[in-house]
A and B are shown apart, each in its own frame.
Chain A
Amino acid sequence: MTPVLEVADLRTHFLTRAGVVKAVDGVSFALGRGEILGLVGESGSGKTVTGFSLIGLVDPPGRIVGGSIRLEGRELVGLSQPELRRIRGREIAMIFQDPIATLNPLLTIGQQMEMALRAHQRVSPRAAAARSAQLLEQVGIPSAAERLRAYPHQFSGGMRQRVAIAIALLHQPRVIIADEPTTALDVSIQAQILHRMRALARETGTAMVWISHDLAVVSSLASRLLVMYAGRLVEEGPTAEVLRHPRHPYTAGLIASLPAMAPPGAPLRQIPGSTPSLMSLPPGCPFRPRCARASAACAQMPPLARAGARAWACHRPEEA
């Protein structure tokens, strides 16, 4: 199976006055057709910047300083903004965390969907409305044709996120980047949306990069997991295997700190310390100061070791 998206040694840095922030520093992965890939990490691990890098929307002073992003073999790094614009929304789409903030409160749902359609094809207003209504129905919005005339404030948060998903799906993109799209929603709505997204990915063959800090959400959805820490990938592998036998101590810590893993009444486990500042990373493994297994060897940056479908960046990995 040829991957639809291939990322190699992606590096996105923010050149600020105070110094260079290496938000993404050498990330590589491949995404298969129709695959759902979970990208997990704490806040500040670089997962969101990775997502924006894929779609070519890194805010200045950040920029992609190296590496390659290939979409069906076509190199995206180095394309001009107009060229990227023609790809965005049509071949790669993105869904954001906060559905309240993403839709324009002053335009109707129909107007916003028509604008997104018109970005890539010439359509009559009537055809645009028909296509929009069809998409809204697909994401589970009842009486879609009437809802096109409604404004975002007339929708609940979950419904707005469905609208955003419908907009992302308008052109049947190859890849959707979902940046914590359910974090702002109630748990029951979350489950509905996850279920819907998985079904849609299956029906349309759209691949997905699902970015989240919530290992529980991702593991119910993604077939493969990438774990990021301080701008780097620290672990990769099939979801079930990674959850059962994490190799990187950081992944092990994340799994152990899931509430479901603790016996009832017992205090929750947590990883000591917090994510390091990306401005002043010490040499060697960035997780070393928080790691119980750290040794002298960890003063050297560990390479990503591969074994079958698994990969980890650790000198002293957990037992397989």
Chain B
Amino acid sequence: MLGFVIQRFLQAVLVMVAMSVIVFAGVHAVGNPVDIVIPPDATQDIREEAIRRLGLDRPLWEQYLIFAGNLLEGDFGRSFVYNVPVLELIAGRLPATLELVLISVISATILGVALGVYAGYRPEGWLARTIMAVSVLGFSVPSFWVGLILILTFAVSLGWLPAGGRGETVEILGVPWSFVTLDGLAHIVLPAVNLALFKLAMMIRLARAGTREIMLTDTIKFARAAGIPEGTILRRHLLKLISIPIITVFGLELGSTLAFAVVTETIFSWPGVGKLIIDSIAVLDRPVMVAYLILVAFLFVSINFVIDLLFALIDPRIRARRTA
């Protein structure tokens, strides 16, 4: 198992190096920030001075080496636009995204698995049919539209919940969080529901398909033949047997939602990293874009690593294969 961990760690390092090159080159190809950062009426001298100061006069490979060198010292560079360290900028926005995404993905998973297992366990019942109909809606209705409807219904018409912003926050370990105050929670509800809907639908489908398949196997029949109560069969046999695909999708969804909750964050003016990256792309703020994309890659690599460890924890056969 230790060998496996080391191997995966080396793989992760390789992936990160490759990602940083691709991101750096890709962002370079998108456009020249000088055209946007420097006022069009600036003189040629000011222009060249700015280019030199930003280091954009050097060849690309040299720019990359400087960037990579700084990166190893924990320096992601300074934003062209805000003129503050990029890390500070992202760290200031990350908690907002983190709490929103964690709340929505985790509740979507718990609720989705519960509903999906039920729908797979009693597929003929009217409740199961209703659940499946709702999940089709969750899949097919575009997220931005749902967001607008949620605001229209609960914020504008009913006036129950706020339409945007983070609300009251409390600092824990120097980081502001919304979920610890009632007002903050009220602000989270609508964007979290908006983000969760698609994931809920997917988890329902996944859990239902797994349940239907597993309930027909001899493992379940044998457990029933031994007189084990249905509740125990569902909790101890079924949930474990369907958990591998669910954890896989959970990880992927967690990563991609953390990285790209842009639409929801924009609709609910949630001050998260999604909005930051969109704004940065609009003004070609290269250091922010590069640092952000590398962080995203790092996020995916770490999540996948944790998921691999979870697999080994759940399935002894995977454990055996890895020690072999």
Contact = CB atoms under 8 A, between A and B. Distances in A.
B129 interface: no
Contact of A107 (B225, B226, B236): B236
Contacts of A10: none
A120 interface: yes
A120 B227 contact: yes
B226 A151 contact: no
Contact of B316 (A93, A98, A101, A153): A153
Given A55-B225, A115-B228, A119-B226, A151 B236 contact: no
A89 interface: yes
A208 to B, nearest CB: 14
Nearest to B319: A151
Interface in B187-241: 216-219, 221-230, 232, 236-237, 240-241
Contacts of B317: 105, 151, 153
A119 B240 contact: no
A115 B226 CA distance: 9
A144 interface: no
A104 B227 contact: no
Given A89-B227, A116-B228, A119-B229, A105 B315 contact: yes
A111 B226 CA distance: 14
Interface of B is mostly: helix
A94 B225 contact: yes
Contacts of B60: none
A20 to B, nearest CB: 19
A87 interface: yes
A41 to B, nearest CB: 21
B58 to A, nearest CB: 56
B227 A153 contact: no
Interface string B287-324: 00000000000000000000000000011110010000
A164 B320 CA distance: 23
Nearest to B244: A106
> Which one of B217, B219, B314 has the greatest number of beta carbons of chain A within 10 Å?
B219
A167 B226 contact: yes
B241 A106 contact: yes
A250 interface: no
Interface in A61-102: 85-90, 93-94, 96, 98, 101-102
A115 B219 contact: no
A230 interface: no
B222 A96 contact: yes
> Which one of B222, B229, B314, B317 has the greatest number of beta carbons of chain A within 10 Å?
B222
Contact of A103 (B219, B229, B240, B316): B219
Nearest to B240: A106
B201 to A, nearest CB: 27
Contacts of A107: 236-237, 240
A168 interface: yes
Contact of A115 (B218, B232, B315, B316): B232
A104 B241 contact: yes
A112 B320 CA distance: 20
A101 B219 CA distance: 6
A8 interface: no
Contacts of A94: 222, 225
B227 A88 contact: yes
A201 interface: no
Contact of B227 (A59, A90, A103, A106): A90
A282 to B, nearest CB: 32
A151 B225 contact: no
Contacts of B236: 107, 111, 115
Interface string A227-265: 000000000000000000000000000000000000000
Contacts of A194: none
Interface of B: 216-219, 221-230, 232, 236-237, 240-241, 314-317, 320
Given A85-B230, A90-B227, A107-B240, 17 more contacts: A55-B225, A57-B221, A57-B224, A59-B216, A88-B227, A89-B226, A89-B228, A102-B221, A102-B222, A104-B223, A115-B223, A115-B228, A116-B228, A118-B232, A119-B226, A151-B316, A153-B317
29 contacts: A57-B225, A86-B227, A87-B227, A88-B226, A88-B227, A89-B228, A93-B225, A93-B226, A94-B222, A96-B221, A98-B218, A101-B219, A102-B218, A102-B222, A104-B219, A104-B223, A104-B237, A104-B241, A106-B315, A107-B237, A111-B236, A115-B228, A115-B236, A116-B227, A119-B226, A119-B227, A151-B317, A153-B320, A168-B225
